[in-house]
């Protein structure tokens, strides 16, 4: 039996926590690389919730442990100018090949390497 600590966290739940942390870090890195113009933070959090179980009198026998990984990134947006269609019941029209945000990278230039 291992004692839950920062050092033993990679072994917890068969290594799944370490895999999830690495994936979140990779996703945050890819977002930073894809959108370097955004100066907002990408945040990876490790949340550990402990809930006492099997309380006998004043003594706790076991505890439920839930470890979750939370990744926070800026929202992904797309902006183009659209025009009102003059026909009754029309809607909005746009030119598919027009972009206002010149900083958007051509999606074909993004390379994803899966090393897992």
Q: Which CA distances in Å does 109 have to 77, 99, 101?
A: 18, 17, 17
- The CB density around residue 4, as the number of other CB atoms within 10 Å, is 14
Residue 59 located in a structural domain? yes
Residue 82, domain member (yes or no): no
Instruction: Report helix, strand and coil shares of the chain as percent, to nearest 5.
Output: 25, 30, 45
User: Structural domain of residue 56, as residue ranges?
Assistant: 9-75
Q: Is residue 45 part of a domain?
A: yes
**69 assigned to some structural domain:** yes
pLDDT band (50, 70, 90) for residue 86: low
Inter-residue contact 69 to 20 (CB < 8 Å):
yes
Residue 18 confidence (pLDDT) above 80: yes
pLDDT at 92 (0 to 100): 65
Structure tokens at 101: 């945000």
Is pLDDT larger for residue 12 or for residue 82? Answer: 12
Looking at the predicted structure, is the pLDDT value of residue 87 above 80? Answer: no
Residue 43 lies in a domain: yes
How much is the pLDDT for 62?
87
């Amino acid at each position: 039996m291992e004692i839950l600590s920062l050092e033993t966290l990679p072994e917890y739940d068969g290594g799944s926590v370490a895999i999830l942390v690495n994936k979140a870090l990779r996703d945050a890195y890819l977002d930073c690389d894809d959108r370097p113009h955004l100066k907002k933070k990408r945040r990876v959090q490790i949340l550990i919730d402990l809930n006492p179980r099997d309380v006998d009198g004043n003594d706790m026998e076991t505890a439920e442990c839930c470890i979750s990984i939370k990744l926070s990134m800026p929202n992904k947006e797309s902006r183009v100018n659209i025009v009102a269609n003059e026909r009754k019941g029309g809607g909005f029209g746009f030119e598919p090949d027009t972009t206002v945000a010149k900083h958007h990278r051509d999606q074909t230039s993004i390379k994803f390497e899966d090393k897992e």
